[in-house]
Structure 1
């Protein structure tokens, strides 16, 4: 018999339990239904309850008058004690009084059928109730999927009843609080987690929600207490759940732990205050980037684009291309200056193995037009390759030193660039034949906005300040001394060798 039942239950048909103390009634109903349904039978109420717990049938045909536990008691137990209210129950009865029907409704019966059962009417009632049960099961599946989804979201989600008792909390929320969620269902939410100093405020908020009053904004912040009584700051969002008649039944709350976020915000505010006090940072962006660098770079870019439209000869196109390349380097320099401002509090930067000789050659080529226009000669003395540990920003050092040498030297002079072996370092120097720098000003030239005045030369003086900052970040030295082979200065810096 067990083998037969096992085979039947594999068919995928709906499972119907017939409960009747008369074997003939069970036989008749089985003959009506066996083609379309899997049939289980019980002859007593007690036996029926055991089967219901074990098999959870899809529908129950339940006789009312039975010895011992009658149909009313069985139905009440299933619907109220077993909490299996989603199993449809059709009561089969020869009783026709109004009171009997009322009693059946009170214990949870879904429908009634008079004995002896008409086959057509029986099939109609079963089909209708099973369709309803199918929809109910689908809704349960959707609800369970929603609950499973809520378990994976990164915020605490809870549902409270009108007495502020917890009726659902997602797994993430239980983990945040440190509780086993099965142990806190039906607990008073305010007593459970809300800090005592905020309890009355939160209760007032919940009361207003239950009265249909949604405050603006629809969120608030208050601390909660975990199971270890550790306080955490949460940002809460609220909504209400309603029944079919539109009555508010529950409060839905979601909370995000913003404890660390608030600490970071406080640190950020403190840091912003420090930055606000720094005139150097403000001056760097407002006086230099906006006025002295960005505007000329923008004009050069606009004029270059206009020239590209009118250029006809190959020479013109080549000159325009050189202008574009030089302006691009200027723009890169501006961006590097902005980065330097942001790196004021950084002690370290990333270094890569770099051929500084090749980098220097590339930089020198970009100044070819400027050198020719001033009839200057450039001498570059180096080894074949000079690998150093450097950040790409080191190119800005070459650019600034060469630019300054051209800017502050008279026409028809020579600029000499050297990369010398200096024990475990490379020493890079740029020598010009300009007016030189007095000893008293040698240190000051690396300070931003300190620049020796020279007629017909406009600039902000930021170049050498950028050089100094880049070298500081490299942990290397930079300086200037007099050019002993004639007028002018020699600017130098060191870099650690990369073998």
Structure 2
């Protein structure tokens, strides 16, 4: 069945339940197409050209980022809006989405109203864009038949139109030119003032004939070409000047490289880089002092009249002749790294740049031995660090994706059933399901957020009262205290201003919560704030079984839970590790001691005073 009047929405997800959920949300207003992997999605996109794509990120064959890049890199599909629908909501995930040229993001579980509004907005923008492109392409066809460079500027000197010949001269794609400022992007700094005067003269509508002017331009390859310009103002139906139309031809006159070199001889002599001119026979005709010294020679005269290959081992000479020389002859320049040989036979890494002259070339050399040694050490470290971080991030992302997907589906269908159900008993049960699923999603999000805490190097701090934070924590834990008939003895009075981040309340919550979990019923948990001069020390003491000395250090490690702890008490083994990391980011200390007034333990942490 086809829906000729309905826009087509392609839903891509490797989870059939996710596809079915989005179909239920959208099928009333749109024709919904479905795909369950990246390859299937690309086949539908290139064959059927849907109006918008809702794309899951985590898929088994090719992921959503790769699918999005293929869509946006194709001329036939680049303007189809792509919305990434994913459980990954971190900053790095969004940056990947932006790099793949995604148009928008939706976070799982998907809100029905938000989904419809995003889809409707993107489809409206696409329709307007399609109309503009159609009109522009028709005008562009007329200009492309011209043999001269033609471009139009608005009154701010931004390029609004350029023909095929103009793109060939600049060496650019159309997307690299449209919207760019002609003077800032393609005119050398030395010629911009005169070009601006010419532009302003061209805006004058009193003259009938076009204005002639010669000006250099800079191509994409940073080559400078001379162009003769003919320009006339662009005038709308009301007689208002809207810009300038330029037509021009490439009249580049290349100056001899030797002449440029002679003008800069004094700069070459003062350069700390080695500079040498080599003729067509490979003989040094000029060598500056730095070039001689880099290769271990006392005087440039030791090299002038000698062949260049005396400064390199046979292996480097072979590499140059077989690989570098053909590329240099083709492009007229080359830049890279080689291994040079000093007068005493020792070798060193060098950065070398070659530029063609009419008869020969100029060589610029820099000794980079120390830099290469440092780069090698840095690369080894970076490779180890990158591998470690990638494995950790991959595990965290997979965990979130696999847990959030089924939870999001349950919540989505529960929301739909709540909207459709009239039976009060069933509504009550559905509300219980919805409440617990919501809490599950929040728990997963919180766990994933704390998993990123180890990568955090710096927090934002402000002055806050520790006493107020402790009181808030005690109120939040009141149900746990009442359940075990435990008394919380708050030895906290007055104000305790500290330079902290709101994350610090997680440390105090962990201390007190653990004291309640592992302390006996009808006992007392004591909270005290001690003055250490420049710091506050928060101490939470319980009447539990205590912690053996051998375990006092290990207990703050990830996933470290003591065998002696009560088996009925649930925990992830991350709580104290997270608390330790938060305190470290505050520049404080954390630890555990035996309760000085009896059985149990005293957990403590220090923070700086405000």
Fold conserved between structures, TM > 0.5: no
Aligning the two structures, in what range does the TM-score lie when normalised by the shorter sequence? 0.3 to 0.5
TM-score normalised to the size of structure 2? 0.38
Q: Over alpha carbons, which structure has the higher Rg?
A: 1
